A = this chain, B = another copy of it.
């Protein structure tokens, strides 16, 4: 296993792949310089736990690359994913010393972390950071509320279609695919993680994936590689407006 110090793939914020989407997006050069003083990189392997709910948390940070999940667990083991953390997403809450959720790396993960106390100092004195963090938090709140509709009111088939369409759309944004035509992507989640996201069992997820495949809504190569021949069709299956029902 590699030493953590050697894992800082880049140190210069200006060249950071999430420079313009993360919490630092609005920062000027001098503000970035101050951030660089309190930042450090951490790398996790797929499956590793970043932090356990209830543990002391002395940092906040951004996902630089890879995917992590935010989950809540009941005493009897029932698990609900409450967030999917993608590159540029923010982890942790200023003003809170304890993690409220389990954070687990789903793929290999690189995080840009800031020591919590100095970061809170910076928030108080750097409006650019506070404003960006507010904007990101409002976006997350919208996403959470969108997900409440999925969890509370959609059928298993619609839930799967909803998840697939979210992943497909995000992937299109990242890889700048055209708006129409078939889309192809790799599922970053196991069937079990999908189930935890959707409030289903992994068996139901598997069955509905098979059903969507049988009905030609998706094609599967292997278990994880998905092709969506017709995004509108998938959106219909998700129970969404064909116009996307986008908030922004």
Contacts and interface: CB of A to CB of B under 8 A. Distances in A.
A152 B149 contact: no
A36 interface: no
Interface of A: 70, 72, 74-76, 78-80, 82-83, 93, 95-96, 100-101, 123-124, 127, 130-131, 133-135, 137-138, 140-142, 144-149, 151-154, 198-199, 239, 241, 247-248
Contact of A153 (B70, B127, B142, B199): B199
Contacts of A130: 127, 130-131, 134
A124 B75 CA distance: 43
Contacts of A83: 145
30 contacts: A72-B148, A74-B149, A74-B153, A75-B239, A78-B154, A80-B153, A82-B148, A83-B145, A95-B138, A100-B142, A100-B145, A101-B145, A124-B131, A127-B127, A127-B130, A133-B134, A134-B134, A134-B137, A137-B137, A137-B138, A137-B141, A140-B141, A141-B141, A144-B144, A144-B148, A148-B151, A151-B199, A152-B198, A152-B199, A153-B199
B82 A153 contact: no
A118 to B, nearest CB: 17
A133 to B, nearest CB: 6
Contacts of A248: 96
Contacts of A80: 148-149, 152-153
A152 B74 CA distance: 12
A157 to B, nearest CB: 14
Given A83-B145, A148-B80, A148-B82, A138 B74 contact: no
Chain B CB within 10 Å, residue with most, of A70, A76, A80: A80
B82 A145 contact: yes
Contact of A247 (B100, B146, B148): B100
